[in-house]
Amino acid sequence: MSTEKVRKSMTFDRKLFFSIGSLFIVFIAIILLFEYNLEKENRQQSLNALLQDYNELIYSQIKNKEIDQISIDSIIQSITRKPLRVTIISAHSGKVLLESQQEKEPDSLANNHLDRPEIKSSLKNGNGYAIRYSQSFKKNFFYSAKRYDDWIIRSSLPFEREKFSILSPNNEFIYFMLAISIFAILLLYYFCHSLGKSIAALSQLSQQAEQGKPIHITIKSGVDDIGNITQSLTRSEERV
């Protein structure tokens, strides 16, 4: 049976239910998508703030030192147990001046880092972050960089979503919206079903009146306006 035939065979109440129900589902899907993207951005901002705090702590301990006097790994061990990777980059040439042991990549010292999105943003706005795939480590990293005069300090962590509660979606909101959606759809079904019965009774009344047959329709009052009108017409016909 074609879609057009199915549509024509559907009763008015079912058409109304599927039409409004479809629009409602699309509306809920848009809300959930918008909320997911907003929450994703907020949580990424929170992770960026955490890494920027690490950058500040690192800079406070190295700002009065020469590059060859800095022990990045010792500083990292004193501020966190996370697998933090730290790189100090020249803000002018983009060359790596110093890096932590966790940051070590083949030929990383020779690479120009000015084309990295987080470095570009730090040069333009003072700080920036990016999520990128590391070809050397074969995994995603969350990079957060900040410029301090001639230096750019960049810290990063492996971007493994399941290991960061800060990046986990808020399931409570999703469950709440699903519960509201189910309740609303059930309420809509009840309304459309009651309306359909009232319309069917009105149609039956019209047919019986046209054919001159006795009126035999039972319908509850107070269900909806159509049901009340049908009941009033039935009583009028019975008195005639």
Average pLDDT of each block of 10 consecutive residues along the chain (240 residues)?
53 78 85 81 88 94 85 90 91 89 58 88 94 83 93 90 52 79 84 74 64 56 51 52
75: exposed, middle or buried (C-beta count within 10 Å: 0-12, 13-18, 19+)?
buried
Check: CB of residue 191 under 8 Å from CB of residue 185.
no
**Angle CA 64–154–139, to nearest 5:** 150
Output the pLDDT for position 117.
Answer: 92
What one-letter code names the amino acid at 42? N
